[in-house]
């Protein structure tokens, strides 16, 4: 049975957990975790809207042109444009107050980049959890990772259990109220208490989860037609709606 190595990194204004599974990881886990932490800190240095010296903050206030920005800024904004298209405009970093803010894509993207630092011949499976944005590879002794999705109105209660292969992102009101902006009005607003998206790309999952929380059923219908991605909406009262292929764990009644 695979042994587990767990590490925690305080970065990007949150706690990111790094879980590695495999045999003989004791002498490599710290090195791998340090590389992942360095990646996350570099992402924060470039993209944090709370740091006035970050590239994205300077871009937002006009102190830096896109041509002068680090190449990863251009890469992320291009990906945000694609997420905007796929979501039917419900994910729109350009509609947020203060200028373009790709945060709704970057946290998942950062988790995916950190995950790459955890690859090693002895690592059978790994998970990066950046406050609800998860990126993974491999498995746990041949079984998929299982992730609980909590009810937004009762955080100690699981609404569903998901079999994770790839990435998962959850967005919603939770403990933060007013941080999700409806691009059609420019004001805070959501159509789902919680929204979860699974798929292969952590950044796109993050962006689409934001869009699903804001756009509700319209985005859920789009996800049903998007190959490789699935979505789950939890309403304020706890009712669930999901795309047909959402990867509920087989043991949960919700999958029947």
- pLDDT for res 256: 34
**Rounded to whole angstroms, how far apart are CA atoms 207 and 227?**
16
- pLDDT for res 187: 83
Domains of the chain and any CATH numbers: 3-255 (3.10.520.10)
The string of pLDDT tens digits covering residues 50-69 is 999 999 999 999 999 999 99
164, 145 in Cβ contact below 8 A? yes
- pLDDT for res 104: 95
pLDDT at 213 over 80: yes
- pLDDT for res 87: 98
CA distances from 204 to 141, 143, 169, 210, 241 (A): 28, 25, 9, 10, 20
Phi, psi for residue 11 in degrees, rounded to 5? -160, 160
- pLDDT for res 103: 94
DSSP reduced 3-state for 50:
coil
194, 153 in Cβ contact below 8 A? no
- pLDDT for res 237: 82
190, 129 in Cβ contact below 8 A? no
**Rounded to whole angstroms, how far apart are CA atoms 207 and 256?**
28
**Rounded to whole angstroms, how far apart are CA atoms 196 and 132?**
9
- pLDDT for res 174: 58
The string of pLDDT tens digits covering residues 160-203 is 999 999 999 999 875 554 478 888 888 888 999 999 999 999 99
Residues 130-151: what's their mean pLDDT? 93
The string of pLDDT tens digits covering residues 226-256 is 999 999 999 988 899 999 999 999 855 444 3
């Amino acid at each position: 049975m695979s042994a587990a190595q767990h590490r925690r990194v305080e970065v990007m204004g949150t706690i990111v957990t790094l879980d590695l599974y495999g045999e003989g990881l004791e002498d490599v886990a710290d090195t791998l975790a340090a590389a992942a932490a360095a990646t996350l800190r570099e992402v924060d240095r470039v993209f944090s809207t709370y740091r006035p010296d970050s590239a994205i903050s300077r871009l937002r206030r006009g102190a830096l042109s896109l041509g002068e920005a680090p190449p990863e800024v251009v890469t992320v904004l291009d990906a945000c444009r694609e997420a905007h298209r796929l979501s039917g405009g419900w994910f729109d970093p350009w509609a947020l107050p203060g200028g373009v803010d790709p945060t709704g894509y970057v946290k998942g993207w950062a988790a995916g980049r950190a995950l790459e630092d955890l690859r090693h011949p002895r690592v059978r499976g790994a998970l990066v959890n950046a406050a609800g944005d998860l990126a993974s590879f491999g498995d746990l002794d041949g079984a998929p990772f299982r992730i609980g999705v909590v009810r937004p109105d009762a955080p100690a209660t699981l609404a569903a259990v998901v079999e994770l292969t790839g990435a998962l992102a959850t967005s919603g009101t939770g403990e933060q109220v007013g941080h999700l902006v409806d691009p059609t009005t420019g004001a805070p607003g959501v159509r789902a208490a919680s929204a979860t998206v699974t798929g292969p790309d952590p950044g796109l999952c993050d962006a689409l989860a934001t869009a699903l929380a804001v756009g509700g059923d319209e985005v859920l219908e789009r996800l049903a037609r998007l190959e490789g991605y699935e979505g789950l909406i939890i309403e304020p009262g706890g009712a669930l709606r999901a795309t047909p292929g959402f990867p509920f764990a087989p043991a949960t009644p919700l999958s029947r």
